[in-house]
């Protein structure tokens, strides 16, 4: 099973103010860590459900927020912005099951 996840920092557990989502503000690192933990948990859940391939699009601001080393090795992380027409779901196509 092939899974696609688009992740944005707004909405992660505890984030309630724009300063928590802004890389230049002191609260950002805490919520970057939380975003990474939640995406990692979603990936682990997908693996437990039978996924063999997981693509994750970091879709917040610079698109360089997730800590790649903390994601499962089966994860393919899409970082940055390429100008792809699908933007926050770059590379999503009919080959994905979920």
- For 42-85, the pLDDT digits (tens) are 999 999 999 999 999 999 999 999 999 999 999 999 999 999 88
Q: Which residue range forms the structural domain that includes residue 12?
A: 2-89
Q: How far apart are CA 90 and CA 69, in angstroms?
A: 21
Two tokens at 2? 């092939």
Q: Is residue 48 part of a domain?
A: yes
Q: What are phi and psi of 56, to 5 degrees?
A: -125, 125
Two tokens at 31? 């919520």
Q: Is residue 98 part of a domain?
A: no
Two tokens at 97? 């099951």
Predicted confidence (pLDDT) per residue in 23-41, tens digit: 999 999 999 999 999 999 9
Q: What is the CATH number of the domain that holds 71?
A: 3.40.50.10780
Q: How far apart are CA 30 and CA 15, in angstroms?
A: 10
């Amino acid at each position: 099973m092939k899974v696609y996840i688009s992740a944005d920092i707004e909405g992660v557990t505890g984030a309630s103010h724009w300063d928590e989502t802004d890389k230049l503000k002191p609260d950002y690192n805490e919520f970057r860590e939380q975003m990474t933990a939640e995406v990692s948990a979603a990936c682990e859940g997908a693996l437990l459900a039978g996924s063999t391939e997981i693509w994750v699009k970091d879709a917040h601001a610079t698109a360089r927020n997730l800590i790649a080393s903390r994601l499962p090795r089966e994860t393919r992380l899409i970082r940055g912005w390429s100008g792809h027409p699908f933007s926050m779901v770059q590379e999503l196509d009919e080959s994905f099951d979920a």
